[in-house]
Chains A and B, each alone.
Chain A
Amino acid sequence: MTKILFLYQYAVLGGCTTQLRNRMALTGLGIEPHFVFAREHGGTKAFGDYPHVKSEITDDQLKALILQNGFEVVSVLDAPGYLRLLAEMNFKGKIVCEVHTTYPKALEYLADDNLMSAVDMFITPSQYQMNMIKERSQAALSVPVQVVPDCIDADLFRPVDIFPESPHPIVLWVGKLDDHKNWRGFLSMARGIAAERPDTEFWMVGGEAAGDDVVSKLLSEMTDKDLASSLRWIGRVEHDRMPPLYSLVARRQGCMLVTSHGESFCTAAVEAMFCGCPVVAPRHTALPEIVCHETHGLLYAPGDERDAVDQTIRLLSDKQLWASIAARDANELPGRFGTTEVLRKLRDVFEKI
């Protein structure tokens, strides 16, 4: 069995941690995955009692772990510090650099040729991200860059039909309360939607770690945009409650509205689609690769809030369109992004190395 070590910075709920958790299933494909997180933020809980998960270990302990286990491949997710550590210890196995983030600051390390020279392969979840890596890193021109989409646990993310009907559609937003995710843009769009569809509710999920100043701004903008009575902010929803949340939005014939300035994949959108909750997203970065316009959701012109409002209202108002998209999302996407399919592809990629 091939032993692969995955290194990531933060064990949090959702995001990359969820992707890594899904990779526990690689054991069934002839790979023994090990996971190490620099900081624990409650994310290792998601791994249950899987034995090869560690967090909060020192560099020396990590080096010892690598030597002791004789990993053939170490895959580093958005964590240049670990790439440096592998270079320092002169790691003999193969090094994979996985690039998921789209935050410009967090991508600066790709331009460090010295650091990148040790990398044997890049893995990234979308074509967009692949191009972006090639633009930033010289090393990426000489080593393979593989696209492996993020995978979603289709057993967990599926439509749950336990909710009562309600005449009020919900427009859902998921993300951290930061500028990159563009929560302010969502509020502006929500105001536009509410002006035409005053029966709509707006739910914002995420951002529990936001600072007091951000929360204060959120509240004042809610008031200024006259959304106080129609908008809920839920700072944190447990991961296992996200499928019912998406299903609830679907039951209310609502949708998820993505406003972020860039996504390498947008796991949350795909999770929502798995649960039959259509998505309205900007036509930029990796989003058009996932959301096929009018087939699996609707796309709007990037930066055009008016278009975002129009597309959302179109989806909320056109019941037939909504139903066809929701059905296609729930039925077809698990075949593209389900854990089994994606992990097979990942196994093949690791084998190529």
Chain B
Amino acid sequence: MALQPINREQGDQLSEVYLGERSDSETQRVTRERVEWMCREAEGPRVMDVGCSQGMTSTLVARQGLFCVGVDVSRDGLAYAENLKRKGSPEVKERLSFVSASCFELPFNGDYFDSCLLGEVLEHLECPRECLAETARVLKPGGKAVITVPFGQLPHPDHKRVYHFTSFLAEVEAFFDPVSMDLVDKRIRFVGRLRSSAPDAKHDSVDKGRLLEKAELFIDALEESKENEQLRLNMAFDQRKKALEQRDRSLEHLQRLENGEGVSRLIREVARKRMSWVVRDLRKNGFGWTLMRCFRKTLRLMIKLMSNCFSVLKKILDLLREERVCKKARAIFTKRLAGFVEKANSHDSKRVVVIFSGTKEIREIYGNRPMRQTRILLDGSTPVLFSYYRWNKTDRLAESNRPLLLQSPIDFTMEFFSQIMQADFPGKEKIFIVSFPHPFIVRRLNELHTWGWRTIYDVRDNWGEFAVVGAARWYDQDVERYVVNNVEACCCVAAPLRDKIQGFTTNKTVHLNPNAFDVLFLKPENRGRVAPRSGPKIVGYFGHLTPAWFDWKRLNAVARLLPEWTFEVVGRDAEGHGDLERNICLSGPKSHAELNEITQRWRVAMIPFKMGPLADGVDPIKIYEYLAMGLPTVSFRMPQIHEYPYVFPVYSVEEFAEKIVEASEVSIDREAIDMFLSANTWEIRVDEMLSLLMDPELTPCDLQLLNPGGGNS
């Protein structure tokens, strides 16, 4: 009896596929839907995920509030799973564990689990029955088995079994009474209950006729695609063969060079070969012909050599150029930094602020939170060093168009961190605002305190949820937790986000500091305006359009329900939306001035974000701008804005459509809007944030006392 462990390392990176980090979009979709189906079927309180791979299904089950144990033998998979677990909330961590064990010898007592999940496991086993028997052993009486296997042959090097309905049922029915069975995305989905007696001949719960119909359709489609597939495989094989041959030739060449066969020897060898060819050709074709061929071949060789030399030379030149550009930029930045310190000190300001942001450089068109905070500080004559993100070290340095502003790319912020930290600002309060919980900051955060800096973590987004949708890959929850615990003060833009961040710490109170209205957004002629209550039916949105949070699917459905309305969508990164309804109009990003024009036509504004933890942690700046334009807003669930004036929170597509109509008819009290906006300006927010450091309940970090002269220079 072969009791081999599951061997699915090759190509099985379930979590990465699920999270969109690997594979094509279709495979990702299929994986997501399959995993989510399994999670829905899981029954608690105790669930086991057999062959958990990278732990995605187990993690999702634990997030549902069930206790889940993931079991696998793949070390890499379990390491990934543990890492994923570390990023989860404390509650999820408590409910989740991973165990390295074979599916043939599960290290649990019998009658222990309420349900067991076996997603794409059985087909990898020589003896699936042994695994099923072991699974049945640990299930409670009547416990649930949720199983998926590929239907028919799927190309995978480690598949040892091919299942069709009959063979699959024959395998599982010895242990489980079928509850349901289906064929979805070329996979058999099976749900069964642990049986207490011998199997029945009939399974009423399984609609075999429907399954066979599906199977036939699937097989037809398979036959059709076989020919194309074979063609594709042949082409791929040829390409691979060529590549391998090429690689072997290169390796041989390198080996010879390494063995001390110098270039001159190789050239001599080539020349010797050429000469023997020349002699043969001379005998055969005569002198003139041979000379011409010689010349042609030599020319071709020269061109090839030149081209190789050229590409190497180009690479060297690129590197040199990069080094030169960086050196020059470094010299410029050194000068700018010295100038900044000098200007800051010559200026009569109470404080100097560093904003460690992960955003782009400050430009007019971008208006995110750290940038607006910077503007307010500069308007109040506070010198600001604004650290921004850049992808490429050779990108030009951002200009600082305000005298008290220094923009510093993140690589320079890191490189010059000691100089920035140790710069002397006599008599000024030194404030360091972290708005980017980058791992680098962990290393220097407390050192900042020893140099008298006061620190705030400004949580402007739910980075953990951004990471889940693949938008903040740098994110590490342990880093954020460290930052929260080690800064002096911490604030968040939305109440649900504050609650989450508060869960990271017991040493301080996390405060709410929402976004705000920028008075510069509104053109003077638009002051006091309200949205038109009649005329063309236009509902609009402006902002980022990434499918990570913009709910194109639901927007499409809403647009279908309101065909007489035009849905105007303005912003960048509009992708992944598929076919849109005709009444949805897209346009690219616009400046504030243009938005002032465009929104005048709108009767209602909207925020169709996907409902979930990501949107729960948001306080979108656009809501203040919609209100400034006198627009009522319909938004999917987003708790922070539910109490804002003229916001219609909704929870379904139908409700969204209804509320658009209702919002278009509501009478708007501009005075109420103005009152709200004047109580929520960036000036107020920045003051509130800085005053957190004056809070009598705040415990200042005693490390500041190590700085000569006490808390500040």
List of A residues within 8 angstroms of B581 by Cβ: none
Encode contact with B along A204-225: 1 for CB under 8 Å, 0 otherwise: 0000100010011001101100
| Contact between chains at A232 and B446 (CB < 8 Å) | yes
| Contact between chains at B482 and A238 (CB < 8 Å) | no
Instruction: Please report the C-alpha to C-alpha distance between residue A176 and residue B46 in the assembled complex, in whole angstroms.
Output: 43
List of B residues within 8 angstroms of A233 by Cβ: 442, 446, 482
Q: Is A235 an interface residue (CB 8 A)?
A: yes
| Contact between chains at A244 and B705 (CB < 8 Å) | yes
| Contact between chains at A232 and B703 (CB < 8 Å) | yes
* Stretch touching chain A among B286-294, B371-379, B500-508, B592-600: B500-508
Q: Is B621 an interface residue (CB 8 A)?
A: no
Q: Considering only CB atoms and an 8 Å cut-off, how many residues of chain A contact the other chain?
A: 25
Q: Is B543 an interface residue (CB 8 A)?
A: no
| Contact between chains at A223 and B439 (CB < 8 Å) | no
Instruction: Please report the C-alpha to C-alpha distance between residue A237 and residue B504 in the assembled complex, in whole angstroms.
Output: 26
Contact partner of B706 among A212, A220, A230, A237, CB < 8 A?
Answer: A237
| Contact between chains at A229 and B507 (CB < 8 Å) | yes
Q: Is A103 an interface residue (CB 8 A)?
A: no
CB distance from B665 to the nearest CB of A (A): 51
| Contact between chains at A230 and B443 (CB < 8 Å) | no
List of A residues within 8 angstroms of B442 by Cβ: 215, 219, 233
CB distance from A204 to the nearest CB of B (A): 9
| Contact between chains at A222 and B486 (CB < 8 Å) | no
Q: Considering only CB atoms and an 8 Å cut-off, how many residues of chain B contact the other chain?
A: 25
Q: Is B476 an interface residue (CB 8 A)?
A: yes
Q: Is B86 an interface residue (CB 8 A)?
A: yes
Q: Is B485 an interface residue (CB 8 A)?
A: yes
Encode contact with A along B697-713: 1 for CB under 8 Å, 0 otherwise: 00000110111000000
Q: Is A292 an interface residue (CB 8 A)?
A: no
| Contact between chains at A162 and B446 (CB < 8 Å) | no
List of A residues within 8 angstroms of B485 by Cβ: 228-229
Q: Is A45 an interface residue (CB 8 A)?
A: no
From A233, which residue of chain B is reached at the shortest CB distance?
Answer: B446
List of A residues within 8 angstroms of B86 by Cβ: 220, 223
Q: Is B336 an interface residue (CB 8 A)?
A: no
Encode contact with B along A223-257: 1 for CB under 8 Å, 0 otherwise: 10000111011111110010011001000000000
| Contact between chains at A216 and B476 (CB < 8 Å) | yes
From B700, which residue of chain A is reached at the shortest CB distance?
Answer: A164
List of B residues within 8 angstroms of A235 by Cβ: 443-444, 446-447
Q: Is A68 an interface residue (CB 8 A)?
A: no
Q: Is A320 an interface residue (CB 8 A)?
A: no
List of A residues within 8 angstroms of B439 by Cβ: 212, 215-216
| Contact between chains at B703 and A238 (CB < 8 Å) | no
Q: Is A58 an interface residue (CB 8 A)?
A: no
| Contact between chains at B705 and A208 (CB < 8 Å) | no
| Contact between chains at A238 and B443 (CB < 8 Å) | no
Q: Is A61 an interface residue (CB 8 A)?
A: no
List of A residues within 8 angstroms of B482 by Cβ: 219, 222, 228, 233
Encode contact with A along B421-442: 1 for CB under 8 Å, 0 otherwise: 0000000000000000001001
List of A residues within 8 angstroms of B447 by Cβ: 234-237
| Contact between chains at A248 and B702 (CB < 8 Å) | yes
| Contact between chains at A223 and B706 (CB < 8 Å) | no
The residues in B between 444 and 489 inclusive whose CB is less than 8 angstroms from any CB of A are 444, 446-447, 449-450, 476, 478-479, 481-482, 485-486
Instruction: Please report the C-alpha to C-alpha distance between residue A244 and residue B486 in the assembled complex, in whole angstroms.
Output: 20
| Contact between chains at B702 and A223 (CB < 8 Å) | no
CB distance from B229 to the nearest CB of A (A): 43
Provide the main secondary structure of the chain A interface. mixed
| Contact between chains at B702 and A244 (CB < 8 Å) | no
List of A residues within 8 angstroms of B476 by Cβ: 216, 219
The residues in B between 8 and 60 inclusive whose CB is less than 8 angstroms from any CB of A are none
List of B residues within 8 angstroms of A244 by Cβ: 705-706
| Contact between chains at A228 and B702 (CB < 8 Å) | no
| Contact between chains at B706 and A245 (CB < 8 Å) | yes
Q: Is A163 an interface residue (CB 8 A)?
A: yes
CB distance from A242 to the nearest CB of B (A): 9
Contact partner of A228 among B446, B505, B705, CB < 8 A?
Answer: B505
Instruction: Please report the C-alpha to C-alpha distance between residue A208 and residue B450 in the assembled complex, in whole angstroms.
Output: 14
The residues in B between 84 and 102 inclusive whose CB is less than 8 angstroms from any CB of A are 86
CB distance from A224 to the nearest CB of B (A): 8
List of B residues within 8 angstroms of A90 by Cβ: none
| Contact between chains at B479 and A219 (CB < 8 Å) | yes
Instruction: Please report the C-alpha to C-alpha distance between residue A216 and residue B446 in the assembled complex, in whole angstroms.
Output: 16
| Contact between chains at A234 and B450 (CB < 8 Å) | yes
List of A residues within 8 angstroms of B450 by Cβ: 234, 237-238, 241
| Contact between chains at B702 and A230 (CB < 8 Å) | no
| Contact between chains at A234 and B507 (CB < 8 Å) | no
List of B residues within 8 angstroms of A248 by Cβ: 702, 705-706
List of A residues within 8 angstroms of B707 by Cβ: 241
List of B residues within 8 angstroms of A245 by Cβ: 706
List of B residues within 8 angstroms of A222 by Cβ: 478, 482
Contact partner of A162 among B443, B478, B505, B705, CB < 8 A?
Answer: B705
Instruction: Please report the C-alpha to C-alpha distance between residue A18 and residue B504 in the assembled complex, in whole angstroms.
Output: 39
Encode contact with A along B494-518: 1 for CB under 8 Å, 0 otherwise: 0000000000111100000000000
List of B residues within 8 angstroms of A236 by Cβ: 447
Instruction: Please report the C-alpha to C-alpha distance between residue A219 and residue B476 in the assembled complex, in whole angstroms.
Output: 10
From A240, which residue of chain B is reached at the shortest CB distance?
Answer: B708
Instruction: Please report the C-alpha to C-alpha distance between residue A211 and residue B713 in the assembled complex, in whole angstroms.
Output: 31
| Contact between chains at B478 and A220 (CB < 8 Å) | yes
From A231, which residue of chain B is reached at the shortest CB distance?
Answer: B485
A-B residue pairs, 3 tightest by C-beta: A219-B478, A234-B446, A229-B507
New A-B contacts (10) at CB < 8 Å, excluding given A228-B481, A232-B703: A212-B439, A215-B442, A219-B479, A222-B478, A228-B485, A229-B507, A232-B446, A234-B449, A237-B450, A237-B706
19 A-B pairs with C-beta separation under 8 A: A163-B702, A215-B443, A216-B439, A216-B478, A219-B478, A228-B485, A228-B504, A228-B505, A229-B485, A229-B505, A229-B507, A230-B507, A233-B446, A234-B447, A237-B447, A237-B450, A237-B706, A241-B450, A244-B706
Residues of chain B whose beta carbon lies under 8 Å from any beta carbon of chain A: 86, 439, 442-444, 446-447, 449-450, 476, 478-479, 481-482, 485-486, 504-507, 702-703, 705-707
